[in-house]
């Protein structure tokens, strides 16, 4: 049974959840409990941070006024890849101000991150200074489905939001199901290598650490103090992790030739893996909706014998469904190989026989072909099976 078919079983529950959401009547209660007055229509949205930009982009890309930071070479539709860099209002080094907001004339500001009193006070300050409503959205991985649904309604794209939220729920629930059968003493020990030297890591409270923990692994750097990102070579050898996830491609390519790393168990066992990062990271950078595909990836590399999902097909469908990017087989291979994703035993679209040559061939425009495992779920329409709906 495909992931999309399995998600259809939960469609009734999705409808019940959606029916329970309050209708918008000019105001919205955000994740901090702030009651925010909304304009009659929202057509221009400023993202206060990169995670908010991803959230707005996957829901209603035409409403995003710009990116908080430069995008990598991402293969995104050119219309959105060329959006200006507006700077970010939040974070350790904010590059936008209330004056930036005034210049951009957004209808709404959305901020996706940890919900704290300080962040709520900042939202109030910016809104009072500019007159622009400012929403705070909790960016916790478990909150992804509800964030998609509620923000989708604010942006006027409820159907799109329900579809993506169904995919998010399946990613989260599928991982939970796998973790229920895992013994606590069998969880892999993981080190996240950040920066060109690999000697910065994901500390407790960071987005990357949250993703590792959500996927059921042990972060070897969990004993470090919050904010202490630098580690020593000696600490690394004392930890001797089972798996190393590299953030920087240059470090990933050089580590096997570096004597400080070559004797580590993860490197000797070919468990030094490169986190996919374009257009957005799979476990972090930013800590947003982009992490959903990372949940599938992490669960497969942490517990390779427990998943029957075709991760390459999942990747292709996620990029298409969420980002509007149609990956070629060559692009899939370039992402998959350094990330440790095993070869697919399922043919991709390019390898399928021409339509009409077989009575069981797929319907033109189908999003889920017979026999193709690993297609991301969405909320199906009531009268037509989701696998017959064109993209």
Could you read off the pLDDT of 137-167 as tens digits, one per residue?
999 889 999 999 999 999 999 999 999 999 9
Look over the chain and give the mean of its residue pLDDT values, rounded to a whole number: 81
Distance CA 14, CA 8 (A): 10
Q: Would strands 134-138 and 243-246 be described as parallel, antiparallel, or unpaired? A: unpaired
Worst-scoring range by mean pLDDT, 31-45, 49-63, 182-196, 245-259?
A: 182-196
**Which carries the bigger pLDDT value, residue 226 or residue 106?**
106
Within 10 angstroms of residue 254's Cβ, the number of other Cβ atoms is: 15
- Between the ranges 211-220, 363-372, 374-383, where is the mean pLDDT highest? 211-220
3-177 is classed in which CATH architecture? 3-Layer(aba) Sandwich (3.40)
What percent of the chain clears pLDDT 90, i.e. is strictly above it? 56
Helix-strand-coil split of the chain, %, nearest 5: 40, 10, 50
| 349-356, long-range: CB < 8 A, 24+ apart | none
pTM: 0.80
Any idea which of 107-116, 168-177, 239-248 has the lowest mean pLDDT?
Answer: 168-177
Per-residue confidence (pLDDT) for residue 24, from 0 to 100: 43
Give ranges for CATH 3.40.50.1980 in the chain.
Answer: 3-177, 184-336
Q: What confidence score (pLDDT) does residue 179 get?
A: 65
Of 118-132, 245-259, 349-363, give the range with the top mean pLDDT: 118-132
Distance of CA 211 to the CA centre of its chain: 10
- For range 42-53, the mean pLDDT: 96
Q: How confident is the model at residue 290 (pLDDT cuts 50, 70, 90)?
A: very high
* Residue 46 clears pLDDT 80, i.e. is over it: yes
pLDDT band at 184 (very low <50, low <70, confident <90, very high): low
The architecture in CATH of the region 184-336 reads 3-Layer(aba) Sandwich (3.40)
């Amino acid at each position: 049974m495909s992931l999309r078919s399995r998600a259809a079983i939960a469609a009734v529950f999705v409808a019940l959840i959606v029916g329970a959401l309050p209708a918008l009547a000019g105001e919205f209660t955000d994740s901090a409990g702030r009651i925010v007055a909304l304009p009659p229509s929202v057509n221009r949205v400023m993202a206060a941070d990169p995670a908010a930009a991803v959230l707005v982009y996957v829901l209603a890309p035409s409403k995003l006024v710009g990116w908080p930071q430069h995008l990598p070479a991402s293969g995104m539709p050119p219309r959105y890849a060329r959006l200006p860099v507006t700077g970010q209002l939040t974070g350790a080094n904010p590059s936008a101000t209330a004056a930036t907001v005034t210049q951009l004339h957004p209808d709404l500001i959305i901020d996706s991150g940890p919900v704290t009193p300080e962040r709520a006070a900042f939202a109030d300050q910016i809104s009072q200074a500019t007159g622009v409503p400012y929403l705070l959205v909790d960016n916790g991985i478990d909150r992804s489905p509800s964030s998609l649904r509620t923000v989708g309604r604010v942006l006027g794209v409820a159907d799109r939001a329900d579809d993506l939220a169904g995919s998010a729920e399946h990613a989260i629930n599928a991982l939970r199901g796998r973790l229920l059968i895992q013994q606590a003493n069998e969880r892999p020990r993981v080190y996240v290598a950040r920066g060109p030297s690999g000697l910065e890591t994901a500390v407790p409270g960071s987005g990357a650490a949250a993703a590792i923990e959500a996927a059921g692994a042990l972060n070897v750097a969990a004993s470090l103090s919050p904010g202490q990102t630098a580690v020593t070579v000696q600490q690394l050898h004392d930890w001797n992790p089972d798996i190393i996830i590299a953030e920087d491609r240059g470090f990933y390519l050089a580590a096997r030739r570096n004597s400080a790393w070559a004797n580590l168990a993860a490197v000797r066992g070919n468990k030094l893996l490169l986190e996919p990062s374009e257009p957005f990271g799979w476990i972090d950078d930013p800590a947003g909706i982009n992490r959903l595909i990372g949940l599938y990836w992490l669960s497969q590399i942490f517990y390779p014998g427990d998943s029957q999902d075709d991760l390459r097909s999942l990747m292709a469908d996620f990029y298409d469904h969420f980002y509007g990017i149609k990956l070629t087989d060559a692009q899939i291979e370039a992402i998959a190989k350094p990330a440790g994703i095993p070869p697919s035993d399922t043919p991709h679209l390019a390898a399928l026989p021409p339509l009409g040559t077989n009575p069981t061939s797929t319907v033109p425009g189908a999003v889920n072909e017979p026999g193709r495992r690993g297609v991301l779920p969405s909320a199906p329409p009531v009268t037509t099976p989701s696998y017959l709906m064109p993209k």
